[in-house]
Chains A and B, each alone.
Chain A
Amino acid sequence: MTGPILLNRRALTAGLALPFFARVAEAAAPRSKKFVVIICRGGMDGLSVAPPVGDPDYEGLRGGLALGEGALTLDGHFALNPALTTVHALARAGQARIAPAVASPDRARSHFEAQDVLETGAADVYATASGWLNRTVSALSATRKIEALSVGATAPLILRGPAPAASWSPGRGVDTTARLPTLLQDLYRDDPLLGPALARGLQTEDMARTTGATRTADMLRPAAAQGRGIAREMGVALAGFLNAPDGPQLAAVSVDGFDTHANQTGALAGRLGALDALIEGLHSGLGAEWSNTVVLAVTEFGRTARANGTGGTDHGTASTALLLGGALKPGGIVGDWPTLRQPALFENRDVAPTLDLRALSKGLLAEHMGVDRRALDTLIFPDSASTRPLVGLV
């Protein structure tokens, strides 16, 4: 496998345009590198994802929300929420790390503005209408075949844009004997929205039949399958696509429900349980390909450092991102911990950001997916040259 690839790289650097080598290279290209973004919507409370149990101010600020003995120990300073058992096991194996004070450039504490900035990769809201993972497809397509997929009923902004991207959600599968798909493709020939979307949707359905995702859909239909089970099966289904010969290398999936203004402990355990199960499904479904994979779980903003008056937390600033995957280098926390000392809090209420989410994403795209710096600085994260990629993660 490696022979032709090396040969081709040499051929390319030598400036030789040899169609034969190019074709061989395409067939055997290292398309196995995979990058998955999980968007945790609603403003995930970083202090409950990876509680800084060693921070002397943590218990005082959090009161009844502080996680103590039940938390899963990472090191002397940080632990993980008890619901994150898979993440914990991966961390113990050097395949999961936390970035405890990450934020996008947005500071408005609005879900919708913050999610826009998180997904567009722009420095400001409404600066661009397409998603940064979509523009990553554009950047990588210049040099190799690249596919992207979102899992879920609606197409997330992070993958919307000019580059083609597929979407998939559990369903009953396409009747392969019906004429309708062909007739419609013909009718949509001149339709710039519907034409490409339908063609791609049918391709993805074809792939779902071969990867077994359709079987997953069958399992999902009984009402009995709920909560953790569904999330795990979605992870397995996504892994099936990622493992397929023509499958996607880039993927995005959302977990909703993190806006915990009141009585948050139970609700958050449920949502983090779903996140953990999704990761568990991905990990087990990917099998050997896990070692070629990096997963980044992020949210639009963190929540107030102090518990609010109703057993929850309000919109804040920095939160915890999770990095997972067999391609990850083992290590401690990613970025600095600002501490929860009162003067260190952002505007005297939130965990202060020490790491720009774009730096983290850029580092992973550069080192894991091989995206060049210029594309990262201008196309994928516009006007971000001063935000340097965080390197050394993979």
Chain B
Amino acid sequence: MAPSRNDLNAAIAVTRFGLGARQGEIAQASRNLRAYLMDQIRSEGADLPQGDRETTAQRLVEFRAYRQGIEQAKATAAMSDTAQDPVKGAQDLIRENTGGDSLARTRLAVATEAGFRERWALFWANHFTVSATKAQVATLVGPYEAEAIRPHVFGRFADLLTAAETHPAMLLYLDQAQSMGPNSPAARAAARGATRRAQADIPPPRRGTGLNENLAREILELHTVGIDGGYSQADVTEFARALTGLSVAGPRDFDAATPVVFRDLAHEPGDRTVMGARYSQPGRAQAGAILRDLAAKPQTARFVCTKIARHFVADDPPAALVSALASVWIASGGDLARVAEALVDAPDAWRPDLSKFKTPYEFVVSSYRALGLQPRGPGQLAILTTLGQRTFAAPSPKGWPDEAGPWIGSDALVKRMQFAQALAVAAGPNIQDPDMLARETLGAHLSTASATAISRAESRAEAVAILLMTPEFQRR
């Protein structure tokens, strides 16, 4: 018997919009599909993972203390004698903090009854990627998501953009913290010092005293208007000049109330022109005005809505869906709650075919959800490293790819199979009836061939492993 359209939509709501079905979830969603999704959209933003709740300021202090310890130990050459090796201490700190944060985030994704809300938050965290591949920011990625991303995901895009770009983690990740206007008072003083040092034959300081265009370029290319948004190298440089001064408080900034500081002395003086608009604001307001203008550009609406449609619906998203989202974005002034609602109400988002192949994170999270398990320690998430998606450690500012291609290598599929085998064994006594489990997990998506293969398995563990590896469970 062909499934009813409502049954199919319930499966879509829970697996494509959400993070995969927990037992009973599809049935629950099917009672009032629209409300099931719409009720997850809320002005206060996404949920916060239950980690140690340390703030960016606390993490910065800890990390600096360890780094100072390393410097001191090097200076005294006493590393081997001390009880606590500071290099190892710093490594342990990074491992514990990021491991704890990523575990807390995964546990939230596994447990949440608001899978759509969490997926929406994960989309934005990935859009504004800060990656732990840079040691300096490794312990900050968790606090960054909690402070800059999650509170704003159903607010105005301009606010989310500003929160993300001015967070210490982003300023450090994309090298903004040390960028300095070439004609700023600080750079001029440094140049005078350099002349004196050269005369006295003293080596130059390790830190540079000039412009770094990394953040400016990635804001334009990745976070707002996109590569085809109509900006030039000159716009990148001008924007980078406007951003100078925006930095992170160091040990010498005793009176800094927040970890983000604006150093007037490092700011490039003068007006700036970015994408045809002139900015004559003083100091920090200059970059703020540029960010607000970028957020409001129609290219930004188009670029980001294409990414939303690609994430939720298809690698090659339907043009009508992108247009529908972008027009709501523009009409609402970038109100992300309205955009999320428009996605729910878009017929294209409910296409019955399962066109999205799950990323490793989605596969792992949905597997735990299906089996009613929770990862208990960071070690249990090693599979994500194996599959190339270690949490918080995207390979570049572009974030994790959202298309099937990079994730569907032959090796990756073998490794998913091994994970499925191991998790099925771990689930063991949790699972009474694998056939029922398959129906609860996949709903109307469960194919006859898959149901037959599961029912013919020679053990519960084999049946559960097959379920997790069915073509329909691998997709959403």
Residues on A lying within 8 angstroms of B by beta carbon are 41-42, 63-64, 108-113, 125, 150, 152-157, 160, 165-169, 171-172, 174-175, 178-181, 183-184, 186-188, 191, 193-194, 196-202, 204-205, 256-257, 259, 261-263, 307-312, 314-315, 347
Contacts and interface: CB of A to CB of B under 8 A. Distances in A.
28 contacts: A112-B398, A125-B227, A152-B388, A153-B389, A153-B411, A154-B388, A155-B407, A157-B405, A167-B410, A168-B411, A169-B411, A169-B415, A171-B411, A174-B418, A180-B469, A181-B417, A183-B457, A187-B450, A187-B471, A194-B408, A199-B410, A201-B412, A202-B414, A259-B396, A261-B174, A310-B180, A311-B208, A312-B212
A141 B214 CA distance: 43
A193 B404 contact: yes
Nearest to B236: A109
B179 interface: yes
Can you list the 8 inter-chain pairs with the closest CB atoms, starting with the nearest?
A: A309-B210, A153-B388, A155-B409, A201-B410, A167-B409, A201-B414, A200-B410, A167-B411
A187 B453 contact: yes
Q: Which among A150, A174, A175, A193 has the greatest number of chain B C-beta atoms within 10 A? A: A193
Contact of B407 (A154, A175, A262, A309): A154
Interface residues of B, number: 60
Contacts of A169: 386, 388, 411, 415
A307 B413 contact: no
A312 B211 CA distance: 10
Given A156-B406, A193-B408, A310-B212, 17 more contacts: A108-B227, A112-B227, A125-B227, A153-B386, A155-B405, A168-B411, A174-B414, A183-B453, A184-B469, A187-B450, A187-B466, A191-B471, A197-B412, A201-B414, A263-B206, A310-B208, A310-B210
B418 A172 contact: yes
A105 to B, nearest CB: 15
Given A193-B404, A194-B471, A314-B213, A184 B417 contact: yes
* Interface majority SS (helix, strand, loop, mixed), chain A: loop
A198 B387 contact: no
A200 B470 CA distance: 18
A204 B212 contact: no
A174 B416 CA distance: 11
B465 interface: yes
Contact of B175 (A110, A175, A312): A312
B394 to A, nearest CB: 11
Contacts of A167: 409-412
B233 A347 contact: yes
B207 interface: yes
A125 B226 CA distance: 14
Nearest to B384: A153
B113 interface: no
Given A153-B386, A154-B407, A310-B175, A187 B470 contact: yes
B466 A184 contact: yes
Contacts of A347: 233
Contact of B179 (A125, A154, A309): A309
Contact of B398 (A111, A181, A262): A111
A64 B204 contact: yes
Given A110-B227, A112-B227, A198 B414 contact: yes
Contacts of A199: 410
A193 B413 CA distance: 10
Interface in B59-90: none
Nearest to B411: A167
A197 B417 contact: no
A110 B228 CA distance: 11
A100 B317 CA distance: 40
A207 to B, nearest CB: 12
Q: Which residue, of B212, B222, B389, B410, has the highest number of chain A Cβ atoms within 10 A?
A: B410
Interface in B449-463: 449-450, 453, 457-458, 462
A171 B180 CA distance: 45
Contact of B212 (A175, A201, A257, A314): A314
Nearest to B396: A111
Of B174, B206, B222, B417, most buried by chain A (CB within 10 Å of CB) is: B417
Given A110-B227, A188-B471, A262 B175 contact: yes
Nearest to A171: B415
Given A179-B458, A347-B233, A311 B206 contact: yes
Interface string B199-238: 0000010111111111001000110000100000100000
B182 interface: yes
Contacts of B102: none
A199 to B, nearest CB: 8
B233 A261 contact: no
B157 interface: no
Contacts of B128: none
Contacts of B469: 180, 184, 187
A198 to B, nearest CB: 5
B172 to A, nearest CB: 10
B421 interface: yes
B421 A175 contact: yes
Contacts of A311: 206-208
Contact of B449 (A171, A172, A187, A194): A187
